[in-house]
Amino acid sequence: MLRLPTVFRQMRPVSRVLAPHLTRAYAKDVKFGADARALMLQGVDLLADAVAVTMGPKGRTVIIEQSWGSPKVTKDGVTVAKS
């Protein structure tokens, strides 16, 4: 069984070049209550506005730009929501 000081003696010091890249990434902002509900409602409204164009008997066709290849032409609300 190794004791803590023994483990630290075996470790090499981190070089100054690598030190800035070894920062710890903490979790995102976690919100609760009315503030969280308001932000969630904004996201749902944004998604509903994008998908609503394709719904119903007068639903329109949308063109989705892709990072590779040609644009995707669709009338499917699920495809719009996923992209």
Q: What is the DSSP string of 35-81?
A: HHHHHHHHHHHHHHHHHHTT-STTPPPEEE--SSSSPEEE--HHHHH
The model's pTM is: 0.55
Q: What is the pLDDT of residue 28?
A: 80
The C-alpha atoms of residue 57 and residue 80 are separated, in whole angstroms, by 17
* 43 vs 21, residue with greater confidence: 43
Round to whole Å and give the CA distance between 1 and 79: 56
pLDDT at 48: 92
Mean pLDDT for all residues in the chain:
80
Q: What is the pLDDT of residue 5?
A: 60
- What is the Cα–Cα distance from 11 to 83, expressed in whole angstroms? 46
The per-residue pLDDT for 46 is: 92
Nearest-angstrom CA–CA distance, 21 and 10:
22
What are the sequence ranges of the domains in the chain?
27-82
Q: How confident is the model at residue 40 (pLDDT cuts 50, 70, 90)?
A: very high
